[in-house]
Structure 1
Amino acid sequence: MPDSMTPAAPGLPEAAYRVTSHELLALLSFDRSAGTALTRRVLGLADLPEDHDLVRAGIGTLNIRDAVEIRGEQVTLLAQAQVLARILATSSQWFDITRIGPDSVSPSYVVDSPVGRAAILLRPLSEYVCIPLRDDVDLFDFVESTVDEAAASMAGAAEGIVTSRRYRGTADPVVANLKAQKSGSFQLAAAPLDDQGQLSVRDLATSERPGRVVRETLAVTR
């Protein structure tokens, strides 16, 4: 991907760029494809018409940041905005890894498409930080390391869950949830469903790495 729309914040890679939820709504309004529908589903974004106030607000801030060109009624995406919109509109697969603690929720996503891939972090005030990933990056490696990092931050905590989901097309997501135990171990909730229709739960052995277990669970083809 090209360089960022806005300067990367301290602690973020130089290639990272940031967009707001309004700007994402605007980008998604340009192409109503299956990939766009999948993106909306994963990120929980409404399917709004082009003339909706929130979409227009997104276009307005993109324009201020020179990310679109406006000529009369014609709006054309430029540079980074165009690249991101293409990735979201052609997305074929998403991973959602969310750490849920007693005081905060920290979602992170990975999107894959024929035209590019990116990691996306949701920050306070509906700010999405997009980090481009090389084509040779193994997405399951990325997911595994993200889960391990989240699990390490909760080790021994009285509360804490790492939810992981893999989305493809219109199928139900593959789910793998980790719950932290006071002992420092974790419980895994994943398919198959039990007699009550709930995810089956088991304790992870001390020799099992949380990230590897989640990776293997999400890799199951259904």
Structure 2
Amino acid sequence: MTETANLETLRLTDHELLALLAMRPSAGAKKTSELFRLSGVEDKAILEQAGITTLLVRGLAEVDGEDIVPVDRGAIVAAVVSSADEWLEMALVTPNTDHVLFTAGSEQGAVLVNLSRYGVHEVQPIESRSGMLPLGIEIARSYLVDGPDGLPAAAMIKHHRAEGTPLTAHLKAGADGSWTLATGDEENPPHRPVPADQAFDEFAAALTFA
């Protein structure tokens, strides 16, 4: 059983995410911080201290001798993001909304982070790292097929690993019923038409490491 099997949905601020990442410094924590757009913030040390304070107040961290350590659900999130070696970066665009989501996964489990422009983010458990890409595809499907905002709509997913070049794919659903797929990380990659009934299978294949 992974750590995230015991995690309920948790809301964390920018400050608290920074603090949890700082409590367990590692290559995985550094990469997670970069992908979550947290590594370049100004006054980082001050924000980390603010995050530690609120984690203590919320019972998500505690004093252990000379150290502050994450506990309870805070410990679960810290364990995953600090040991992460696989990530998804997702951008979803509809006529009315833009959403950015991330996943981070390790042997400890995986989490989905729904980033908010207001700095309060929802962290949800994913049972295992292997479930990240299927979840990402289903989230894209919910926006491009079932979303309340209508069409056109687009989904971009970038699949990162600790080493090597990430895989990137862009899937678009047009208001006229057309579907197009592009791969690659360039700014305006060329799109090719794909059959509607094969669009998500091809999207997933483009994001799957050999």
* TM-score category, normalised to shorter length: 0.7 to 0.9
Deviation at 1:174, TM superposition (A): 0.9
Q: Deviations over 1:74-117 (max 9, x none)?
A: 21221111111110010010112221234432122222101111
| 1:96 alignment counterpart | 89
Secondary structure in 1 matching 2:25:
coil
Counting only pairs closer than 5 Å after superposition, residues 15-30 of structure 1 correspond to structure 2 as: 15-30=8-23
Question: Could you say which structure has the higher helix fraction?
Answer: 2
Does structure 2 conserve the Cα–Cα contact (< 8 Å) formed by 1:166 and 1:218? yes
Across the aligned residues of Structure 1 and Structure 2, the Cα RMSD in angstroms comes to: 2.8
In the superposition, relative to structure 1, how do residues 49 and 121 fare at CA in structure 2: closer, same or farther (>3 Å)? closer
Does structure 1 conserve the Cα–Cα contact (< 8 Å) formed by 2:155 and 2:172? yes
Moved more, 184-193 or 199-208: 184-193
| 1:67 alignment counterpart | 60
| 1:186 alignment counterpart | 179
Moved more, 105-114 or 90-99: 105-114
State whether structure 2 residue 24 is matched by structure 1 residue 31.
yes
Deviation at 1:147, TM superposition (A): 1.5
| 1:52 alignment counterpart | 45
For 2:50, the aligned partner's letter is A
| 2:196 alignment counterpart | 206
- Please report the TM-score for the alignment, with normalisation by the length of structure 1: 0.80
Number of aligned residues = 206
Does structure 2 conserve the Cα–Cα contact (< 8 Å) formed by 1:156 and 1:184? no
Deviation at 1:160, TM superposition (A): 3.2
In the superposition, relative to structure 1, how do residues 219 and 37 fare at CA in structure 2: closer, same or farther (>3 Å)? same
- Please report the TM-score for the alignment, with normalisation by the length of structure 2: 0.84
Which structure 1 residue ranges, 5 or more long, are not aligned? 5-14
Q: Deviations over 1:131-160 (max 9, x none)?
A: 222239633322221121121128862x43
Structure with larger RCO (C-alpha < 8 A, sep 6+): 2
State whether structure 2 residue 102 is matched by structure 1 residue 106.
no
User: Which residue of 165, 169, 173 corresponds with 1:176?
Assistant: 169
User: Which residue of 155, 158, 171 corresponds with 1:162?
Assistant: 155
Does structure 1 conserve the Cα–Cα contact (< 8 Å) formed by 2:94 and 2:143? no
State whether structure 2 residue 208 is matched by structure 1 residue 219.
yes
Tell me the percent identity: 21
Q: Deviations over 1:52-89 (max 9, x none)?
A: 11111111111110211136752122111111111001
In the superposition, relative to structure 1, how do residues 176 and 155 fare at CA in structure 2: closer, same or farther (>3 Å)? farther
In the superposition, relative to structure 1, how do residues 125 and 198 fare at CA in structure 2: closer, same or farther (>3 Å)? closer
Deviation at 1:49, TM superposition (A): 10
